[in-house]
Amino acid sequence: MTLSSVRLATSLLRIATSLFLLISFHIVLSGWGADGVALRVVNRCDFPIWPAVAPNGGYPVIANGGFFLPPGESTRVNTPVPWSGRLWARTGCEFDSPRPGLTCRTGDCQGRFACNGTTGAPPATLIEMNLQRHGRSFYDVSLVDGYNLAVSVSAAPPGDGECFIGGCAGDPNAACPPELQVMGGGGEVVACKSACMAFDLDDYCCRNAFGNEETCRPSSYSMLFKEICPSYRTYAFDKETPTVGCSAHAFVVTFCPPAWGGAAAV
């Protein structure tokens, strides 16, 4: 290949990349009214997930509270503003199964397909969001209730402020201590409990005498989460990872982001 051919190929690649990003941002933003914020939920896992959404008090249910998302697919969720609530992924769901108890292995919401505002059963990785159309939206990723999947959050197109929350440097389920493990039907670890959920002790749960930032300190378990997922909140008074503030009109929530933490194209 000649030098001129290499330069031509490089130029075409740059043009194609620019067009891809432009189309991606258009897809994210298209179809939404001027009064809402767009959320694009992406499944980069190699298995299906059932994302779920629960509003905080006084805010409406969006996307019926839950939906199915095959591997490699994405969907848009229209969010009115202001809106405040949480989003998580359910895994291993069998809604037509006679299996007693929970319908989903992780993140179950009382056995419902559409959670309709019902919160999920821990442990589950939570994206906590307070969305605004004008000014900054605030959000974080929390492992205070335990972990099931890695997730990243970014603005599309990039907004004003600290907008990106990366995934994890590894898989917390693989490093989960036996006393925190939640096992799947095949004997695999499908989630990792918080110490509060596992032991129900005041110092782990940051309650009673430990209900303030002076007395509630990180535990060996929360520090394990923090080592693997430094961008996530790992206990109730975790000030090391502040809430992100970003001014943008659209956000991308990616489950199982590439390379355990990289930003993913839509």
- Give the domain range for residue 65: 31-260
- Cβ neighbours for 57, distance < 8 A, ≥ 6 positions apart: none
In a domain, 229, yes or no: yes
In a domain, 36, yes or no: yes
Instruction: Report pTM.
Output: 0.82
Angstrom distances, CA of residue 63 to CA of 26, 54, 60, 113, 146: 21, 10, 10, 11, 24
Give me the pLDDT at residue 24, please.
Answer: 42
Q: In 126-163, which positions are buried (b, 16+ CB within 10 angstroms) versus exposed (e)? A: bbbbbbbbeebbbbbbbbbbbbbbbbbbbbbeebeeeb
- Cβ neighbours for 29, distance < 8 A, ≥ 6 positions apart: 38, 156, 249, 250
In a domain, 8, yes or no: no
Q: Which structure tokens are listed for 55?
A: 């509003």
Strands 250-255 and 36-43: parallel
Per-residue pLDDT of the chain (266 residues; tens, 9 = 90+): 444 443 443 343 344 333 333 444 444 444 444 568 899 999 999 999 999 999 999 999 999 999 999 999 999 999 999 999 999 999 999 987 665 566 899 999 999 999 998 999 999 999 999 998 888 999 999 999 999 999 999 997 776 667 899 999 999 999 999 999 999 988 999 999 999 999 999 999 999 999 998 999 999 999 999 999 999 999 999 987 778 899 888 999 999 998 554 444 33
Q: Cα–Cα distance between 64 and 23 in angstroms, integer?
A: 27
In a domain, 12, yes or no: no
Using alpha carbons, select from 246, 155, 243, 149 the residue that is nearest to residue 190: 149
Residue 225's SS3 state is helix
Domain harbouring 72, CATH code: 2.60.110.10
Count of domains in the chain?
Answer: 1
In a domain, 117, yes or no: yes
In a domain, 53, yes or no: yes
CA atoms within 13 A on the CB side of 265: 9
In a domain, 182, yes or no: yes
Q: Cα–Cα distance between 258 and 203 in angstroms, integer?
A: 35
Residue 205's SS3 state is helix
Q: Cα–Cα distance between 40 and 252 in angstroms, integer?
A: 5
Q: What is the DSSP letter of 95?
A: T
In a domain, 56, yes or no: yes
Q: In 77-98, which positions are buried (b, 16+ CB within 10 angstroms) versus exposed (e)? A: bebebebbbbbbbbbbbeeeee
